Structure 1
């Protein structure tokens, strides 16, 4: 009797999946995610930063550094998803005093969290793109009129390429284009930070 009841329940489930393709697709995705390869590691490298759309700041490239951790998920052989927690040191120079912000070089830190959707056209190559959130670590250091913060958090668009050079090591280069203003200056200009990021990415799980 138990065997017959189990067969009847199984048949009902299969009939439901045939009638509901969306449910079948969801189950397939979940199953693929469960079998996906997970990679965790660290990365470090250099950064060049320049400011666009605000003439109060110098547009010259400023060199600094970044480091952090990454998590990569490979649900399919040709598709991967990567997120990171990066500390990125950023330097900008304002050449005009506005709203009480003195001229000079401003050293800032950002915690950056990208979400990259990557394709793998070749076994050694990943190409990805996605949003990146940049959270200011010392935004209270610089003040403008009425004791407001001079700088703030912002979002950027990351375009990324990674080349595998060994079982555990990849070289990366990323263009990070600011899509939100990074400053609170009230002169009608919307400054955006652009960054080139490059360096080494090493897995802690692969040899």
Structure 2
């Protein structure tokens, strides 16, 4: 058996160790609560960021719907591209018809001419052939514009699907009103509409312009 003094010291040490253990457990518990609070704050920050992103996405979709992917404006884009193809095709046919007439006339001249004049007629014939070859651009232009139209339709379908996810066009229309009004074209930009399409109403024709100078 140890002396009473040693036993008292051991008991005191044991008590101090117990108090120290209690203090450590309290500190650990407090750290856990602080960590949980910190994690909770970060979680709600992430939720808030996601909510803002969703709201911004809805606004962008609504703006697209209001300005470029519905009604007359959407139809206008495809109509303008179709008009480019049609006008290019018409101009190409005129060029080809004129080139064919020149080619026929050149063939007649080549039979009647000799020497340098015949060489000149042959040079004209070669240039006409180059015109025929160059007119292949119309087919390439039509194909490329067709791809653009297809891409626009693909984008339109994807945007429409996303809008349905967020509640449809009606639920988003009010979001875009203010932004669309702010971005309305003004001044000269509002007047730059390009050549009128076949179905356009109340447009000034070239004849109207010419009549002003008579």
Both proteins in one fold, TM over 0.5: no
TM-score bucket of the superposed structures, by smaller chain: under 0.3
More helix by share: 2
TM-score (norm 2): 0.24
Q: TM-score, normalised by structure 1?
A: 0.25
Whichever of the two has the greater Rg, that structure is: 2
